[in-house]
Amino acid sequence: MILPDSTIGMLGGGQLGRMFINAAHNLGYRVIVLEPDPYSPAGLIADEHIVADYDDVNAMQRLSESCDVITTEFENIPAFVLETLATSCPVYPNASAVEKAQDRTVEKAFIRSCGLLPVPYGAITTYSEIAAAVEKIDFPAIMKTARFGYDGKGQARVNSLVEVQQAYNNFERQHCVLEQMIDLKCEISVILARNEAGESHCFPVAENIHIDGILHQSIVPARADEDIMQAAQVAAKRIADKMEYVGVLAVEFFISQKDELLVNEIAPRTHNSGHYSMDACITSQFEQQVRAICGLSFADSRLLSPVVMTNMLGDLWDLTLDKPVLNAKPILKSRTSKLHLYAKREARAGRKMGHFNTLAETTEIAQKEADAIFNAIKTQ
Ligand code: ATP
Ligand code: MG
């Protein structure tokens, strides 16, 4: 067991790392961040910030020598970095789990090997594979780069063979997957913590609303069928078990109009759709990550109140100003909403800058309040 006063290493400096550090600090841990950006959200509040590339040999050595355990908040940390660090310090999650989530083709094959259904797809690694991929799916479809996609980046909607060819060229012939467009009833996600002993603990299922491929709101409790939500939790647990995962993991699911449960993707880290837990659960996903990697027992993650989490993208900032600002007043005035800002130096359209959690007696009331706040900010 790694007890408070110990030092945790964090690979990556984004908002997930920042919120993890807050939780770790509350429990009395020190955190050292390895992240190349000197002004990253997590680096700014870390006990120590090693400003270097993730694969910098000296930085890796410094990190592993100074830490009792190392974790990550960013799925694109090169797997060999995790492997190398693991030779001298415990690293959770393990390299092979993270690696599976880094490539959509590997990920989908893995989902199948767990006996679960990925979204129907065809893999495209060369131009000549396009025709076969198109054969496998029906249009409309989405072309996605196999690696480095996030927040809807590296994706293109396609409706014909020619459009698939164009998208492949636009993505500079990187490896891609061609995914069938699913007629969605709803999107849900399961966030789960698992420890070395193989015990796992799920957070309440979140219902997720996306706008333009980016998460807009998470609603908890989700308004989905109970049996499907239970199946999603079982599926997430199976995925985590098969990966021998230690830490916090998120699985995004699609529920089709025909009530099929499809696995969209796996995130080997805490997740945007789990931010509601910061204010609406006894224990947040970030504290549970600390507990999982330090071998502490899990705390209760029960939902204390219906909640709606609303993301704030850079678009909400007044980008016409030299130093863009957010009109935070509508959130601060709402007695049942909690503001979380990530201290990013620059607001940009589409960039996740913060979120707010709105609590109420029902999700309907919470969503109404959240929407009113969001519109008030937008029309400032
Ligand atoms: P992130 O990592 O931020 O979740 P991403 O860039 O990896 O996002 P996806 O999760 O693949 O993107 O897609 C983002 C959103 O776009 C989905 O949550 C969903 O709303 C929509 N979407 C993606 N693929 C499909 C599909 N095959 N059918 C229907 N909707 C889709
Ligand atoms: Mg996604």
The verdict on residue 110 lying in a domain is no
The whole-number pLDDT of residue 319 equals: 86
Q: Please say which residue of 139, 165, 180 terminates a domain.
A: 180
Q: Is residue 218, in this structure, part of any structural domain at all?
A: yes
> In the prediction, which pLDDT does 323 show?
86
In a domain, 2, yes or no: no
∠ CA(151), CA(326), CA(33), 5° rounding? 55
* Distance, CA of 208 to CA of 235 (rounded, Å): 18
| Domain annotation covers residue 103 | no
pLDDT at 150: 81
Say how far apart CA 356 and CA 309 lie, in whole Å: 6
* Cα–Cα distances in angstroms (integers) from residue 184 to residues 209, 227, 250, 259, 260, in the given order: 11, 17, 19, 9, 10
Which atom of ligand 1 has the smallest separation from the CA of 181? 28
Boundaries of domain holding 143: 120-180
Q: Is the same domain home to 226 and 270?
A: yes
On whether both 299 and 222 belong to a single domain, the answer is yes
- Name residues whose C-beta falls within 8 Å of residue 289's C-beta, 6 or more positions apart in sequence: 20, 23, 71, 193, 247, 248, 270
pLDDT for residue 225: 97
- On whether both 146 and 257 belong to a single domain, the answer is no
The reply to whether 164 and 219 lie within a common domain is no
Q: What is the pLDDT of residue 351?
A: 96
Tokens describing residue 141: 């479809």
- Cβ partners under 8 Å of residue 129, min gap 6: 122, 123
Strand order from edge to edge, sheet including 176-180 = 121-124, 176-180, 141-145, 155-158
Angle at alpha carbon of residue 287, lines to 299 and 271, rounded to 5°:
115
Q: How far, in Å, CA of 55 to CA of 36, rounded? A: 10
Please tell me what DSSP assigns to residue 120.
P
Q: In this structure, what CATH number is given to the domain that contains residue 42?
A: 3.40.50.20
Contact 64, 9 (CB under 8 A): yes
Could you tell me which residues are beta bridge partners of residue 249? Answer: 192
Let me know whether 291 and 370 are in one domain: yes
Nearest CA residue ID for atom 26, ligand 1? 181
pLDDT at residue number 364: 98
Question: CB count, 10 Å around CB of 103?
Answer: 17
Q: Is 179 in the pocket of ligand 1 (CB under 6 A)?
A: yes
Mutate to test the pocket of ligand 1, among 187, 214, 254, 352 (most ligand atoms within 8 A of CB): 254
pTM of the model: 0.97
181 lines ligand 1 (CB under 6 A): yes
- The answer on 26 and 67 residing in a single domain is yes
In a domain, 101, yes or no: no
Of 178, 264, 266, best ligand 1 pocket probe by most atoms within 8 Å of the beta carbon: 264
Structure tokens at 101: 């989530």
Of 19, 18, 22, nearest to 44 by C-alpha is 18
Domain identity same for 225 and 364: yes
Same domain, 203 and 351: yes
Instruction: Identify whether residues 355 and 260 lie together within a single domain.
Output: yes
Task: Check whether residue 231 and residue 282 sit in a common domain.
Answer: yes
Q: Is 254 found in the same domain as 312? A: yes
Spans of the chain, pLDDT less than 50: none
Sign of CA dihedral 79, 82, 85, 89: negative
CATH number of the domain where residue 224 is located: 3.30.470.20
CA-CA distance, 82 to 299, in Å (whole number)?
27
- Which single residue is written with the structure tokens 């502490």? 296
232 within some domain: yes
- Do 166 and 192 reside in the same domain of the chain? no
Tally of domains in the chain:
3
Neighbours of ion ligand 2 (CB under 5 A): 252
Confidence at residue 61, expressed as pLDDT on a 0 to 100 scale: 98
How many whole angstroms separate alpha carbon 10 and alpha carbon 70?
6
Is residue 91 within 6 Å of ligand 1 at its C-beta?
A: no
CATH of the domain at 171: 3.30.1490.20
* Beta strand extents in the chain (DSSP E only): 7-11, 30-34, 48-50, 69-72, 121-124, 141-145, 155-158, 176-180, 184-194, 200-202, 206-211, 214-220, 247-256, 261-267, 307-313, 337-341, 352-359
Q: How far apart are CA 366 and CA 305, in angstroms?
A: 10
Is residue 150 included in any domain, yes or no?
A: yes
In a domain, 207, yes or no: yes
